[in-house]
Structure 1
Amino acid sequence: MFDSLSGKKVVIIGASSGIDLAIAEKLLSLGAKVVLSHASQEKLAAAVALISGEIEAKTVNFLEEDSVNAFFAEIGNFDHLVVTSLGDRNMPRALLTEMTTETARGGMEKFWATFLAVRGSLKTLAKDGSITLTSSVTIFKYSKMGGISVIAAANSAVAVFGRALALEIAPIRVNVVAPGLIEDTSIWSSQGDSERSDLSKWAVSALPVEHLGQPEEVALAVLSLIINPYMTGVVLPVDGGVTL
């Protein structure tokens, strides 16, 4: 079944975390042709430099409709779309009473960028292909610390959007991966050394799997959603059991 990716073109939207790179590496190892995209040329170049394999890289602003449409017109026909870290760095972690309306609206950029990316892809995405979106475990489990209301809202919007699309644009398959706390992501990178140490200790003691998530583990989940032709409308947690 893994041979089904040989020669297939897969577009990955996002190049700012270890998850993006791990997905690209796995796809390349299975013979896929990979197109990596990001709004920042600098981040895109840095990501490409870390990938061991031939990859096509394109700069695109996924909050600008014209930029999105030009991007998909340029890359032409392709087989699978993976949307990873769109807008994640703009996610506001603040209490509702302390958050400005402008900040809250900015936190919803993840949904709007995902919307534009998916809509822009449909003219050139194969009818027997797939779309894999990225949400978060925050849609299943909320924090007593608070401050994640807009984060949860944006990720919930992505998840519900994906499930509805699985019916609307069938037979194209649409699935959603919902990672928990994963090393080498924007959230992980925003923590200090002591916070990372505390999180690692927490994972060992609190999670059934007794370790923090790794980018490669999310990449394996994404691959299963891409390859399995009988999976659509799925929201798949990759969370080490935190939602149990």
Structure 2
Amino acid sequence: MVRVPVLAAGGIVLRGEETPLIAVVRLRKRSEWVLPKGKLDDGETPRDAAVREVCEETGHDVSVHEFLGTLVYESGGRSKVVHYWRMEAGGEQIYQLMHDAKAVEWLPLDVAVEQLSRAYERAFLAVVGPLALEAAALATRRQKATLPPPAIPVSAPPQADLPSAPTAEHERPFAASDVVGAEMSAGATEFGTAPQFVEADAAAAAAQPEANHTAAAARSRRRNLMQKMRDWLRRAA
């Protein structure tokens, strides 16, 4: 009579250090050091079982990555089939170890291989362990390559104060007050009499009392100018 193999799942669990470390678990039964793994529950997928068993035996939350391979061996007169995934443990231990697990240690790959009690697990880890480390290093490089570069604050260079260009009297900016004191006279052209605007003497304007520059005086001068223009237009007509 053919006996159905026992299905189990586990992980090659890495913890990120300067030298990556691999989890090995010490069982209470016979004090053996083994890779973290366990049997599937009814209706459970191998991947889900692997995560559950690894959390129970290491006390760590883990992230699951590549499938690494299957180990088949005889146990208690039956074949045992164990599927393994590369996993990464995050942070510190947060769960109490299950009763069957006495301790967990994190060791470099070569030390972890020597620590395992069973020859077939030592041979398996010696083969898939380097693949797991290489995959983890590649994933780290890809992650760093996709990270945006740090923002570097850039400040505008200081702007030198530009000196103001000297303004000559005849180049001074136009202002509305410049035309207030303009005198209008009639000049003969081939088309008849045309208006000519002559700017008032600046010195004479400056000599006027300051009171003449009030708003009322300005409005009066504008009215006089408009009246002179109307007078000229009547004469030209």
TM-score when normalising by structure 1: 0.24
Structure (1 or 2) with the greater helix fraction: 1
Between 1 and 2, higher relative CO (CA 8 Å, sep ≥ 6) is seen in 1
| Structure with larger Rg | 2
Structure (1 or 2) with the greater strand fraction: 2
